[in-house]
Structure 1
Amino acid sequence: MTPFEFLLPYSLDEALSLLDPEDPNVRPVGGGTAVMLMMKAGVLRPTRLVSLQRIGDQHARIARQADGSLRIGGMARLADIEAHPAVREGWPMLAHALRGVANPRVRAVATIGGNLSHADPHMDMPPVMAALDATVVISGPQGVREVPAATLCTGYYETVVRRDELITELRVPPQAGPGAYLKLTTRAAHDWPALGLAVVLGLQGERVTHARIFTGAATDCPTPLRNAQTILEQRGLSAPVLREAAEAAVAEAPLVADSHGSAAYKRQLLRVALPRAVQIALNRNRSHA
């Protein structure tokens, strides 16, 4: 292994000062799960790793705000988010989705900021946060900026986060209605998904006032299925409409083949997954009514 620096700053400002906007081999480390896998695979040979473990507990806080929104520090561990009472009560879709991420050992150390920054298209949190209409807070030497979670990822392992910036917070509005994240894997349930589908529905009686549907894993980055959303908003939730929405999703989604399946296979998964995810969301909504 090539020697590298491992630095342990004690503040966010210090951590940011140690990053290099020009050097892709200088990396921040949150939980370290993705970085270690990349190093073992030989795709990352860092010259410097900047640990974020000591930058302050305030960056790992999870709290419901007075306006009903949820704030999650970028250093919050996935297991802590899933177990938090406010998340389980107000954002059940998020809590449920987190239970299927990797395994308990990974969730105990992986951070939400690192998870989103890594932008592996097979990860579960990017489409979930996009469907929940979350906002990502990014800090850097030029100050703080906010971007919608839906536009955070720009391509395969690519985001709008610059090399000298860090995701420091997520702001999640109140869950607008029933939601579900459906993760379809080719092997064990905790494995990388061949297709991930996140659905959030705004309901007024039997009418869909708005829908947010994002696919992941089968696309290079979380992708909104706008035609399917429009069909649900205009025509409701009957079985024929759900099938029509699924066909629209298959037609519009830029599905890609990988080791988890061909594009044709993933089209069939999406065709099955959309009606199923909507039904799961509705069933959960009835069980809590």
Structure 2
Amino acid sequence: MIPFELARPRSLKEAIALLDPEDPDIRPVGGGTAVMLMMKAGVLRPTRLVSLRDVEPEYAQVRPGANGELVIGGLTRLATLEHSPLVKEGWPLLARTLRTLSNVRVRNVATIGGNLGHADPHMDMPPVLSALGARVTISGPNGERTVPVEQLCTGYYETVLARDELISRVTVPPQAGRPAAYMKVTTRAAHDWPALGIAVVLDMQGAAIGRASVIVGAATDRPTRLTEAETLLRGASPDDAILRDAGEAGAAQLDIVGDAHGSASYKKQLLKVYLGRAVRTALDAASARGAQLKGHAE
């Protein structure tokens, strides 16, 4: 291994100052799970790693924000999110997804900011947070800016982040009882990289879908909104015919990418089937949660 400098700043401002917008061999490190794998593979040979572990603890906290939002510090570990009572109560989609994200060893060290900033298209959090309408606060030498999670990734391992910018916060609007589900298809264990991931969040008007947010991951080079499927679902009663049509429309919209986890034609077929299943799962989960809350009240 080529020697490199390990910097341990005590503040976010100091960490940003240690980064270089012109030098790709200087990298920030949160949990380090992706960086270590890249170094072992010889893909990354850093001259400096900027550890974020010692910056202000506020960036590793989960707290309620304005208007019922969830505010997640960029250095919050995934395991902290997974076990947060606040997340379990108000954002059950996040809590359910985190239980099958990677494995417990990774979740104990990986951070939400690093997870999103790595921009691997097979990640679970980007489509889930995109469907929930989350946004990231990006901090850099010129201050802060806010970007929807849906617009953060621009391609394979590429984001709108400059090399001297960091994700300091993630803000998630209230799930507020909206039916939601994330389904992923893997060839092995549930925590393995998916061939397809699909996140669905529904706003209901009685028994009909008032509005649907449908985001697909793993089949494309970035989380992608299925606008054609959303249009078909809007105002519809979720019967078998409309769910089948929505799946067909979603598959037709995408330029699906084949990889080691599945061919393009295989992923297209998965999408046709799993979009409808995700909607059904969301509705079933909401019904079960409603019955559980009613039981507690009684």
Partner of 1:174: 174
Partner of 2:90: 90
Q: Distance in 2 between matches of 1:174 and 1:253?
A: 29
> 1:234 offset after TM fit, Å?
3.6
Partner of 2:161: 161
Amino acid at match of 1:236: S
Partner of 1:189: 190
Partner of 2:21: 21
Q: Distance in 1 between matches of 2:221 and 2:260?
A: 14
Instruction: Within 5 Å, give how 1:210-225 maps onto structure 2.
Output: 210-225=211-226
Partner of 2:109: 109
- Greater shift in the superposed pair: 66-75 or 105-114: 66-75
Q: Is residue 2:59 matched to residue 1:50? A: no
Give yes or no for contact 2:211–2:235 (8 Å, CA) kept in 1.
no
Flag structure 1 segments of 5+ consecutive residues without an equivalent.
none
> 1:67 offset after TM fit, Å?
1.4
Amino acid at match of 1:145: R
Amino acid at match of 1:10: R
Cα shift readout 1:116-156 (whole Å, capped 9, x = no counterpart): 00000111111011001001100000110000011000001
Partner of 2:296: none
Please give the secondary structure, in 1, of the residue aligned with 2:257: coil
Q: Is residue 2:271 matched to residue 1:270? A: yes
Q: Distance in 2 between matches of 1:268 and 1:19?
A: 43
Please give the secondary structure, in 1, of the residue aligned with 2:234: helix
Partner of 1:126: 126
Amino acid at match of 2:249: A
4+ long deviations beyond 3 Å: none
Q: Distance in 1 between matches of 2:199 and 2:113?
A: 19
Partner of 2:208: 207
- Greater shift in the superposed pair: 232-241 or 197-206: 232-241
Amino acid at match of 1:254: D
Give yes or no for contact 2:210–2:236 (8 Å, CA) kept in 1.
no
Amino acid at match of 2:270: L
Cα shift readout 1:175-219 (whole Å, capped 9, x = no counterpart): 151100001101121110000000000001112111100000110
TM-score by length of 1: 0.99
> 1:65 offset after TM fit, Å?
2.2
CA RMSD between the two structures = 0.8
> 1:66 offset after TM fit, Å?
4.3
Q: Distance in 2 between matches of 1:38 and 1:156?
A: 15
Q: Distance in 1 between matches of 2:56 and 2:152?
A: 24
Partner of 1:75: 75
Amino acid at match of 2:109: V
Please give the secondary structure, in 1, of the residue aligned with 2:195: strand
Please give the secondary structure, in 1, of the residue aligned with 2:67: coil
Flag structure 2 segments of 5+ consecutive residues without an equivalent.
291-298
Q: Distance in 1 between matches of 2:227 and 2:235?
A: 12
Partner of 2:151: 151
- Greater shift in the superposed pair: 199-208 or 109-118: 199-208
Q: Distance in 1 between matches of 2:192 and 2:255?
A: 22
Amino acid at match of 1:14: E
Q: Distance in 1 between matches of 2:218 and 2:174?
A: 26
Instruction: Within 5 Å, give how 1:51-66 maps onto structure 2.
Output: 51-66=51-66
TM-score by length of 2: 0.96
Amino acid at match of 1:164: D
Please give the secondary structure, in 2, of the residue aligned with 1:164: coil
> 1:236 offset after TM fit, Å?
2.7
Amino acid at match of 2:110: A
Q: Distance in 2 between matches of 1:131 and 1:66?
A: 20
Q: Is residue 2:261 matched to residue 1:260? A: yes
Q: Percent identity?
A: 61
Cα shift readout 1:145-171 (whole Å, capped 9, x = no counterpart): 000011000001000011000000000
> 1:238 offset after TM fit, Å?
1.0
